[in-house]
Structure 1
Amino acid sequence: MARGAELFALNHMAAPKLHLPELFALAQALGITRVEIRNDLAANAILDGTPAVEVGAAAEGAGIEIVSINALQRFNDWSPTREREAVELADYAAGAGARALVLVPRNDGEGRGDGERLPNLTVALKALRPILEQRGLIGLVEPLGFEICSLRLKSEAVTGIDAVGGGSVFKLVHDTFHHHLAGEETLFADRTGLVHISGVDDPAIAVGDMRDSHRVLVDGGDRLCNLGQIRALRGAGYAGPLSFEPFAESVQRLDAAHIRESLAASMAFVTAGVVS
């Protein structure tokens, strides 16, 4: 096991070409015991129709904990359609033995008004609360730092969670990329259930122009202050996993051997920077 492996989780987006058994094997090889699976990868579970119970059994057999299913999209744009999607995903998460369901807000420039954001958020959280509670799941609310997003700030997410009395059901995702883009200083470590980590190395791109396609593994060229964010979160009491979530093609097109090497190098870099 690599030094510090217990700090990390592996989001399937880090190796989207791998099928779940291969992803679990990659995690095992790195000493990682926690994985996030996704519902947006073609020819892969969940979209390929693999039953939840099979996913759960494969994870258990590999000694892997499914941290979350990522994600219910546009969760704060509540509608009968969104409710059906939420129930289906929550049923799948529970059937697979996942601990949580990631909730991603609308990110198309709509629903951003001062009179819209909080009402839309609280309506969705109020409706989601019983769906999650009945299945023993945590809802992981993930604000996105993009200027067009309808929920950029963790402070606003916390306000909505508290408005529906949902502190025991809803936690935050602290995404180091989105935290940097949003420019929010408060960490809310005690309200955080999961941390996503990725870096941006491109020295030419302005912060306001950073997109998912720029997100690589965290290394010495990182501009997002991942190490500073992680140290601050851990110092404030966060003890959960740091889940790798790069989106750049330069990472995603790597084969299993090379992504293992790259992840191991990033794990070593982060561990050296945050563990005294």
Structure 2
Amino acid sequence: MAIDPTRFCINRKIAPKLSIESFFKLVHRLGLNKVELRNDMPGGKVTDNLSHAAVKALAAKYDLEIVTINAVYPFNQISDALLEKAEGLLKDAQGVGAKALVLCPLNDGSAIADQETMAAMKQLAPLFAQYGIQGLVEPLGFPVSSLRSAVQAQALIRDSQLPFKIVLDTFHHHLYEQAEQEFEAGIDINAIGLVHLSGVEDSRPTAQLTDEERIMLSHGDLLNSVAQVQRLERLGYTGIYAFEPFSSLLDSWSEADIEREIRQSIALLQE
């Protein structure tokens, strides 16, 4: 494959110990120009202790585009607290110049009916429109997730007649047992707003995998993330691929380790 480097994005989860500026510097050194910020970093805030203007200025300094902020959770269980959280993150996104905000479904074993998920999206959509931010629904493949299927998520968005798109995550695709059966006939490539990439080498049963097992791509990746990307390219996907490892192993990585892992993962995708 030959994927334009401007389509690669680095999720801040890969660098839990770096300040925002150090993270931005690292991504810039790699010759990349896209990042994702998060609201679950050790500092507990999307911008750490920086103002929106300061983060926006740093992104401009290092020639970076802030693609998304992760994430509103649980978006499909609406409450006053959830709406307040969503609006706060939308203000963050608008303030730092992020293009989109990710929405993650309830993931505790509780079932949520499709109608309730659709109603939640319809209630959130005007807020997203007000702030000019793209909504990205990310199905989670865990057995306890209330929205596991990318095809189903797209159908709910389509039936709700909303401008949201989905995040397709190679880890969560692997975890959902019916994903392969549904995919080629059911997926709408044009309704994918972002693809998250990680790798897993742990051989425990798929249903037992957690975020802790998520590392970067490798030849031994059991998610077959490279093959998943090859298929997306073949089907005409032209959007962004964001690397999103989660393992606590990342806490011990130096900047040199992070750079090496990113370069190696990109090289695997470019073979």
| Normalised-by-shorter TM-score class | over 0.9
Q: Where does 1:114-129 land on structure 2 (aligned, <5 Å)?
A: 116-129=112-125
Q: Where does 1:128-143 land on structure 2 (aligned, <5 Å)?
A: 128-143=124-139
CA deviation profile, 1:11-67 (whole Å, cap 9, x unmatched): 000111111111111111111100000011122652634222221111111100000
CA distance in 2 between counterparts of 1:162 and 1:18 reads 39
Change (3 A) 1:259 1:44: farther
Give the C-alpha shift of residue 4 in structure 1.
5.0
Provide structure 2 residue ranges, at least 5 long, that are not aligned to the other structure. none
Give the C-alpha shift of residue 81 in structure 1.
1.0
Check whether the contact 2:12–2:37 (CA below 8 A) recurs between aligned residues. Answer: yes
Give the C-alpha shift of residue 163 in structure 1.
2.5
CA distance in 2 between counterparts of 1:26 and 1:47 reads 17
Q: Which runs of 4+ in 1 moved over 4 A?
A: none
CA distance in 2 between counterparts of 1:51 and 1:133 reads 23
Which secondary structure state, in structure 2, belongs to the residue aligned with residue 76 of structure 1?
Answer: coil
State the match for 2:149 in structure 1: 153
Check whether the contact 1:4–1:271 (CA below 8 A) recurs between aligned residues. Answer: no
Which secondary structure state, in structure 2, belongs to the residue aligned with residue 35 of structure 1?
Answer: strand
Which secondary structure state, in structure 1, belongs to the residue aligned with residue 131 of structure 2?
Answer: coil
State the match for 1:251 in structure 2: 250
CA distance in 2 between counterparts of 1:180 and 1:250 reads 21
Question: Quick one: which amino acid aligns to residue 240 of structure 1?
Answer: G
State the match for 1:180 in structure 2: 174
CA deviation profile, 1:145-181 (whole Å, cap 9, x unmatched): 0010001011221222122211xx2111010000011
State the match for 2:210 in structure 1: 211
CA distance in 2 between counterparts of 1:124 and 1:99 reads 21
CA distance in 2 between counterparts of 1:87 and 1:10 reads 24
Check whether the contact 2:16–2:250 (CA below 8 A) recurs between aligned residues. Answer: no
Q: Where does 1:34-73 land on structure 2 (aligned, <5 Å)?
A: 34-43=34-43, 45-46=45-46, 48-73=48-73
Question: Quick one: which amino acid aligns to residue 55 of structure 1?
Answer: V
Which secondary structure state, in structure 2, belongs to the residue aligned with residue 265 of structure 1?
Answer: helix
2:140 paired residue among 135, 139, 144: 144
1:170 paired residue among 164, 169, 173: 164
Give the C-alpha shift of residue 6 in structure 1.
2.5
- Greater shift in the superposed pair: 172-181 or 248-257: 248-257
State the match for 2:15 in structure 1: 15
Check whether the contact 1:5–1:30 (CA below 8 A) recurs between aligned residues. Answer: no
User: TM-score with structure 1 length normalisation?
Assistant: 0.91
Give the C-alpha shift of residue 250 in structure 1.
2.2
Q: Where does 1:27-38 land on structure 2 (aligned, <5 Å)?
A: 27-38=27-38
Q: Where does 1:234-249 land on structure 2 (aligned, <5 Å)?
A: 234-249=233-248
Check whether the contact 1:100–1:139 (CA below 8 A) recurs between aligned residues. Answer: yes
Which secondary structure state, in structure 2, belongs to the residue aligned with residue 134 of structure 1?
Answer: helix
CA distance in 2 between counterparts of 1:56 and 1:47 reads 10
Which secondary structure state, in structure 2, belongs to the residue aligned with residue 174 of structure 1?
Answer: strand
CA distance in 1 between counterparts of 2:116 and 2:57 reads 37
Change (3 A) 1:44 1:85: closer
Give the C-alpha shift of residue 141 in structure 1.
0.4
Check whether the contact 1:198–1:246 (CA below 8 A) recurs between aligned residues. Answer: yes
Check whether the contact 2:68–2:102 (CA below 8 A) recurs between aligned residues. Answer: yes
Q: State, as a whole percentage, how many aligned pairs show the same letter.
A: 37
Question: Quick one: which amino acid aligns to residue 108 of structure 1?
Answer: D
Check whether the contact 2:136–2:167 (CA below 8 A) recurs between aligned residues. Answer: yes
CA distance in 1 between counterparts of 2:214 and 2:45 reads 23
CA distance in 2 between counterparts of 1:194 and 1:242 reads 6
Provide structure 1 residue ranges, at least 5 long, that are not aligned to the other structure. none
CA distance in 2 between counterparts of 1:271 and 1:86 reads 37
CA distance in 2 between counterparts of 1:89 and 1:7 reads 24
State the match for 1:261 in structure 2: 260
